Amino acid sequence: MSAFARKNDQIPFIFAGLLGRGYYRERVKVLLINSNRERMPWPALPVGMCTVASGLAAAGHEVEVLDLMFVADPARETLSRVRKCDPDIVGLSIRNIDNCNFEVPYFYLTEIRDQIVRSIRTASSRAKIVVGGSAVNVSPADVFSFLEADYALVGEGEEAMPDFLRALEERTPLSRVRGLLEPGKGSTKALPILDTGRLARGEPPAGRALVHDFAKSSRSEAWNWVDLKQYAAHGSPYSIQTKRGCALKCSYCVYNNIEGHAYRLRDPVEVVDELEEAVKGHGVKAVDFVDSTFNLPLAHARGICEELERRPLNVELSTMGLNPAGVTPELVEAMKRAGFKSVMCTPESASEVTLKTLRKGFQKHAVIRAARALREGNLPTYWFFMLGAPGETMDTVRETLAFCEEHIAPTDMVLFSTGIRVYSGTPLERTCKDMGWFAEDDPLFLPSWFLSPELDLNELYQTLMRAAAVHPNWMTNAETVVSPAMNAMMKGAFRALGWKGPFWKHLPRVFGLANRFGVRQRGLEQHAANLRKVTDVRHYRG
């Protein structure tokens, strides 16, 4: 058993079953596997899988965890671990379907199926495979069938997984387990996706799984299951959610399908308690808040900041998903007092027209206000923009670039990505299909893209290349894809130079040098040449 396996043997399981139910329950042994091996921008701590592991342990199950993030040969490692553990159930956690990068696309599921799923089958003819994680939640039926698993659990797994095991042990109908998909049993008619008002086929007949009381069952206890120090050595912060859900309805966004519209908030005291345990008990030095939007609702974000200020932790705090609609000078000040050293902000556009078609729910003046607040508050920011939404033209693109020129400090990073990833169950899917952009039954889990027909891909990329040449802090999405060796070398060099914080903070300096010696232009030219060969934007898979 690895150092990161845990056994709950306080109450003998069979005995508990005999007592509680009056008949024998077989003991189900579970192996959870983290299949994610993506190291950009850094290896994401598998908090989802760890939360499921903690949920299973709390329910009295014997759980082991195999984290494939840093292993050299995932197929071999899976094979030997499944043989050794001999589990009844393998819970495979799948985070990313693809890298959401039109310029340098990568699809992860083939490798997961061929190397991991097939190794499990080779190692054990009796272990059943259940898949879960954000990839499954994005496109349940398609991802399930592509991976050739036995079951999928759609939604939040920390309570659904114990429910599923109980149903197996007690031989009660699996169709009643929330979130469960069995082969060929996904809904044939469109069913609701959580509380989003959205409908999709292939949903679990009993609906998606949600935890009963998120406020109370949200701790991942990741230190019990994975090697936090190894993650930290690769630049990964400790991840934590302060809430689930997002009430906004951006047209392309699939976060709602994963977390729902309704906010489920954690008590700030409980959030800081968890962080205190991570910092004081497990040596955590950097923390990332991984809410869909950290700063909405604003009052809750303020509450988190106040509690952090009251109980200083002396760690680097950051967050992705700062929504411009809620960025005020007061919030920036509160975040700084709380210990935030950097943030990621996601306006996606600074054009009035495009903000509207993306249904961002805020206007350009909110983006300007956010930029001023962050710049004047001197909070280093990584900005994200997506180019190519419905109605986007070169004029609206130039409007966004002009905003960046005027309002974003040259020391802050800006990422421009071309094309919008289209997901099933989103309003953008409907818009696209109504335009005839995809066939009605197109399986959108395979990387599928929208690019405004009013844009020419090459002209767009040439514009970004020219802009990058004079703005070392502006980056195209193609440049975010680097080999694991290059990634390690770059981060190692930053450490050796004593450059602290998230690696992106140092990119303006690196790109400045690369621009001066013409190295960057050569890389960008290569990406432009690849993009010139694109014949089918919608289904471009590299």
Task: Report what 156 binds from ligand SF4, ligand B12, none; CB cut-off 5-8 Å by kind.
Answer: ligand B12
Q: What would the two tokens of residue 286 be?
A: 């950097």
Torsion of CA 337, 240, 426, 431, to 10 degrees: 40
- Closest separation in Å from C-beta 488 to ligand SF4: 31
User: Of 293 and 473, which CB lies nearer to ligand B12 in the complex structure?
Assistant: 293
- Closest separation in Å from C-beta 349 to ligand SF4: 12
List the one residue from 153, 305, 366, 507 that touches ligand B12 (CB under 6 A).
Answer: 153
Task: Report what 95 binds from ligand B12, ligand SF4, none; CB cut-off 5-8 Å by kind.
Answer: ligand B12
CB-based burial of residue 153 (10 Å sphere; 0-12 exposed, 13-18 middle, 19+ buried)?
buried
List the one residue from 5, 28, 31, 44 that touches ligand B12 (CB under 6 A).
Answer: 44
User: If you count them, how many residues does the chain have?
Assistant: 542
Under rule CB under 6 A, residue 74 binds ligand B12: no
Under rule CB under 6 A, residue 47 binds ligand B12: yes
User: Of 248 and 315, which CB lies nearer to ligand SF4 in the complex structure?
Assistant: 248
Torsion of CA 131, 135, 137, 139, to 10 degrees: -100
Under rule CB under 6 A, residue 419 binds ligand B12: no
Query: Nearest to residue 30, comparing CAs of 68, 70, 62?
Result: 62
Query: Nearest to residue 476, comparing CAs of 406, 400, 387?
Result: 387
Judged by CB under 6 A, the chain residues 264 through 293 that form the site for ligand SF4 are 292-293
DSSP state of 107: B
Under rule CB under 6 A, residue 405 binds ligand B12: no
- 319 beta partners: 289, 343
Task: Report what 209 binds from ligand SF4, ligand B12, none; CB cut-off 5-8 Å by kind.
Answer: none
Beta strands in 71-196 (DSSP E): 89-93, 128-132, 151-153, 180-181, 191-193
User: Of 244 and 407, which CB lies nearer to ligand SF4 in the complex structure?
Assistant: 244
Query: Nearest to residue 391, comparing CAs of 360, 350, 423, 355?
Result: 355
Site string for ligand B12, 100-139 (x = CB under 6 A): xx----------------------------x-xxxx-xx-
* Stretch of 92-100, 200-208, 354-362, 461-469 lying at the interface with ligand B12 (CB under 6 A): 92-100
Contacts 24+ apart (CB under 8 A), 456-463: 457/418, 457/531, 457/534, 457/537, 458/528, 458/531, 458/532, 459/394, 460/387, 460/388, 460/394, 460/397, 460/418, 461/103, 461/418, 461/527, 461/528, 461/531, 462/528, 463/394, 463/397, 463/398, 463/401
List the one residue from 255, 382, 450, 511 that touches ligand SF4 (CB under 6 A).
Answer: 255
Site string for ligand SF4, 307-326 (x = CB under 6 A): ----------------x---
Under rule CB under 6 A, residue 256 binds ligand SF4: yes
Judged by CB under 6 A, the chain residues 323 through 352 that form the site for ligand SF4 are 323
- Closest separation in Å from C-beta 448 to ligand SF4: 18
The 3-state DSSP class for residue 6 equals strand
Q: How is the beta sheet containing 151-153 ordered, strand by strand?
A: 62-67, 29-34, 89-93, 128-132, 151-153, 180-181
Under rule CB under 6 A, residue 158 binds ligand B12: yes
Q: Which amino acid does the sequence have at 434?
A: D
Under rule CB under 6 A, residue 93 binds ligand SF4: no
List the one residue from 51, 342, 354, 400 that touches ligand B12 (CB under 6 A).
Answer: 51
Under rule CB under 6 A, residue 320 binds ligand B12: yes
User: Of 220 and 256, which CB lies nearer to ligand SF4 in the complex structure?
Assistant: 256
Judged by CB under 6 A, the chain residues 169 through 188 that form the site for ligand B12 are none
Say if residues 194 and 256 touch (Cβ distance below 8 Å). Answer: yes
- Distance, in Å, from the CA atom of 95 to the CA atom of 137, rounded to the nearest integer, reads 9
* Stretch of 115-123, 250-258, 398-406, 411-419 lying at the interface with ligand SF4 (CB under 6 A): 250-258
- φ/ψ of 131, rounded to 5, equals -100, 145
User: Of 54 and 295, which CB lies nearer to ligand SF4 in the complex structure?
Assistant: 295
Count of positions on this chain that bind ligand B12 (CB under 6 A): 45
- Distance, in Å, from the CA atom of 244 to the CA atom of 256, rounded to the nearest integer, reads 9
- Distance, in Å, from the CA atom of 112 to the CA atom of 347, rounded to the nearest integer, reads 33
- Closest separation in Å from C-beta 540 to ligand B12: 14
Under rule CB under 6 A, residue 248 binds ligand SF4: yes
Q: Which residues contact 329 (CB under 8 A, 6 or more apart)?
A: 372, 373, 376, 377
Categorise residue 155: left if φ over 0, alpha if ψ from -120 to 50, beta otherwise. Answer: left
- Closest separation in Å from C-beta 19 to ligand B12: 27
Task: Report what 82 binds from ligand B12, ligand SF4, none; CB cut-off 5-8 Å by kind.
Answer: none
CB-based burial of residue 485 (10 Å sphere; 0-12 exposed, 13-18 middle, 19+ buried)?
exposed
User: Of 238 and 364, which CB lies nearer to ligand B12 in the complex structure?
Assistant: 238
* Stretch of 121-129, 143-151, 253-261, 385-393 lying at the interface with ligand SF4 (CB under 6 A): 253-261
Residues of this chain that bind ligand SF4 (CB under 6 A): 246, 248-250, 253, 255-256, 292-293, 323
